[in-house]
Amino acid sequence: MAHEDRNPDQPLKPAPRVNLRTPEVMAAVQAQVENHYRSEVVERLRAAGGTLSAEGLTIKLAKQFGFCYGVERAIDLAYAARKYFVDNNIFILGEIIHNPEVNEQIRALGIKNIIGKQKEAEVDDLQPSDVVIVPAFGTDVTTLGKIKEKGCQIVDTTCGDVMSVWKRVRQNANDDMTSIIHGKASHEETKATASRALKDGKGHYLVVLTLADTDYVCDYIRQGGDKAAFLERFKGAHSPGFDPDLHLRRVGVANQTTMMRGETEEVQRRIMAAVRTRDGDTGAAQNYRFFDTICGATQERQDALQQMLDNPLDLLLVVGGYNSSNTSHLAEMGEAKLPTYFIRNACRLESYTRIVHYDLHRKEEIVTENWLRKRPLTVGLTAGASCPNNLIEETILRLFELHEISAERLLRPAVA
Ligand code: SF4
């Protein structure tokens, strides 16, 4: 981790910087991106206030849904890299975003994956002439360091909201505070964030996912406990050499940007209360801090769904990749209120009687029969920050098709 002595996000051996965003490149990118992901139906529906009704079937679209600014930027940069580096090999560190259809399009551009189960090349084989794209959720310091040492051109699409979390955890490390990260330890963003909490191998982190994890940590903060059991419970979710007797003395809470705000706030509250019980108010002011780093786009999508759920709906469809954190949280919110189906694309609406959808608890697709009922029917629709509009359009049209209302009939009044 020698590169942690300096800002790890600065190049070791800078490849010549290039500006991908030339007017010619961006004009071509825009045309291609629109061709792949744009939807006239969704734009029209949004312009009409988000409600579409025909013959007793009503679809209500959340006020905020789909692609966020971070995802749009990442996709633009990946497409721009392909246009700019016409003759170079281009690689990507895993999925650009968590949407299988978008990742398929990236693959179709000839951009190869070098991370994870579906990798097509090794980091060790990279050549200085190669281009490497860092996805929207960033990458860990070690991987980034290796790529820089290879002298590759790096196209960094890391979202600014993710980088602001990195800034916070680095600050914790500089102040000898352990970062407690509310997130999923195996998620790329959380791994990238955790790596920035290490500071030369001297900093520490602990990842908590659930409120049960949080309570376990809080009990340890208040009264100590069985160190071996603690480390076993958080195996794979703490920094090397983490010692709960030492490294829970001073803690700063941060989070994966796409968590549920209410849950993150609860994690913050419980840990603060535990530190206060142990150290008193004055000690807690020294030994505890938190940063609110839920991203704006995640928050807006959660708020918009909540607003929609406050009104009567018969069922909710959530469209997006099953490994998308922010989309899963939208599905969780729906589930708590009404029948909710989390689908990858319109093909999952197999028939009027049968839907294939993702079960968040079993972590697999399941089939539900007799999911639709007769009209009048009001269906809520939302999509995660990594879901393109074309997939939302296909879902809308399929829903009407299942009710034997053709796209042509449906769109005719809006065209007039
Ligand atoms: S969901 Fe938030 S953090 Fe992730 S890319 Fe979008 S804006 Fe950035």
What is the average pLDDT score of the chain? 93
The strand order across the sheet containing 131-134 reads 111-113, 90-92, 131-134, 153-156
pLDDT in tens, 134-148: 999 999 999 999 999
Look up residue 36 and give its two tokens: 């792949």
Structure token pair of residue 14: 């800078």
Contact 269, 306 (CB under 8 A): no
**What is the reported pLDDT for 408?**
80
DSSP 8-state secondary structure symbol assigned to residue 183 = S
Closest atom of ligand 1 to 159 CA is 8
- Say yes or no to pLDDT of 6 above 70: no
What pLDDT does residue 416 have?
38
Omega within 30 of 0 (cis) for the link into 376: yes
Kindly state the helix (H) or strand (E) to which residue 58 belongs, with its residue range: strand 57-61
Q: Which residues of 128-166 are buried (b: 16+ CB within 10 A; e: fewer)?
A: eebbbbbbbbbbbbebbbbbbebbbbbbebbbebbeebb
What is the mean pLDDT of the segment spanning 189-193? 97
Between the CA of 111 and the centroid of ligand 1 the distance, in Å, is 22
Cα separation, 53 vs 377, in Å, equals: 10
Give catalytic residues, as residue numbers: 189
Distance CA 253, CA 292 (A): 9
CA–CA distance, 179 with 57 (Å, rounded to integer): 49
CATH 3.40.1010.20 positions along the chain are 36-67+297-415, 161-294
- Lowest-confidence region among 63-72, 118-127, 396-405, 407-416: 407-416
- Backbone Cα Rg of the chain: 23
Q: Give domain 161-294's CATH number out of 3.40.1010.20, 3.60.15.10, 3.10.20.30, 2.70.170.10.
A: 3.40.1010.20
Q: For position 4, what pLDDT does the model report?
A: 40
Top-confidence residue, 415 or 370: 370
CA of 285 to the centre of ligand 1 (A): 30
Q: What is the pLDDT of residue 201?
A: 77
Name, in order, each residue with C-beta under 8 angstroms of 124's C-beta and a sequence gap of 6 or more: none
Task: Give the separation between CA 30 and CA 32, rounded to whole angstroms.
Answer: 5
Q: Cα separation of 6 and 12, whole Å? A: 9
DSSP 258-272: TS-HHHHHHHHHHHH
pLDDT value of residue 178: 98
Of the candidates 76, 77, 75, 71, which has an alpha carbon nearest to the alpha carbon of residue 153? 77
Our mutation pick for probing the ligand 1 site, out of 159, 300, 303, counting the most ligand atoms within 8 A of Cβ, is: 159
Residues 6+ apart with CB under 8 A from 55: 375, 403, 405
CATH architecture assigned to 70-159: 3-Layer(aba) Sandwich (3.40)
Task: Answer yes or no: is pLDDT of 280 > 90.
Answer: yes
Amino acid 262: pLDDT? 92
Are 250 and 138 a contacting pair, CB within 8 Å? no
Contact (CB, 8 A) for 197 and 203: yes
Look at residue 164 and tell me whether its pLDDT is greater than 60. Answer: yes
The per-residue pLDDT for range 343-392, each reduced to its tens digit, is 999 999 999 999 999 999 999 999 999 999 889 999 999 999 999 999 99
pLDDT in tens, 192-238: 999 999 977 789 999 999 999 999 999 999 999 999 999 999 999 99
Query: What is the CA(136)–ligand 1 centre distance, in A?
Result: 7
- Does position 9 have pLDDT exceeding 90, yes or no? no
Q: Note the pLDDT of residue 40.
A: 92
d(CA 208, CA 210): 6
pLDDT above 70 for 8: no
What's the pLDDT score for residue 82? 97
Residue 92 has pLDDT above 60, yes or no: yes
Nearest atom in ligand 1 to 71's CA: 5
For atom 5 of ligand 1, the residue with the nearest CA is 70
Long-range contacts of 68-71 (CB under 8 A, 24+ apart): 68/295, 68/297, 68/298, 68/301, 68/385, 68/386, 69/297, 70/136, 70/159, 70/160, 70/161, 70/162, 70/295, 70/297, 70/385, 71/97, 71/136, 71/159, 71/385, 71/386
For residue 88, what pLDDT is reported?
Answer: 97
Bridge partner residues of 112 (DSSP): 91
- The total number of residues shown for the chain amounts to 416
pLDDT at position 77, please? 97
User: Could you give the 3-state DSSP secondary structure of residue 226?
Assistant: coil
**8 A C-beta contact, residue 290 and residue 268:** yes
Q: Is the pLDDT of residue 334 over 90?
A: yes
Q: How far apart are the CA of 169 and the centre of ligand 1, in A? A: 18
Return the pLDDT at 11: 52
**What pLDDT does residue 118 have?**
82
pLDDT band with cut points at 50, 70 and 90 for residue 89? very high
Enter the CATH code of domain 36-67+297-415: 3.40.1010.20
Name the closest-CA residue to atom 6, ligand 1: 70
| Ranges in the chain annotated CATH 3.40.50.11270 | 70-159
Give the confidence band of 398 by pLDDT, cuts at 50, 70, 90: very high
- What stretches of 205-324 show up as alpha helix (H) in DSSP? 211-223, 227-233, 244-247, 261-287, 296-309
Ligand 1 — pocket residues by CB below 6 A?
68-71, 136, 159, 161-162, 257-258, 295, 297-298, 326, 385
For Cα atoms 386, 314, 413, give the angle at the middle one, nearest 5 degrees: 75
Least confident range from 15-29, 32-46, 161-175: namely 15-29
Query: Please, what sign has the CA dihedral across residues 40, 63, 384, 25?
Result: positive
Q: Has residue 316 got a pLDDT over 90?
A: yes
pLDDT digits (tens, 9 = 90+) for 29-77: 999 999 999 999 999 999 989 999 999 999 999 999 999 999 999 999 9
Q: Are 201 and 1 in contact (CB under 8 A)?
A: yes
Please name the residue whose Cα sits nearest to atom 8 of ligand 1.
70
Element (H, E) at 78: helix 69-84
Q: Which two tokens stand for residue 165?
A: 């979390």
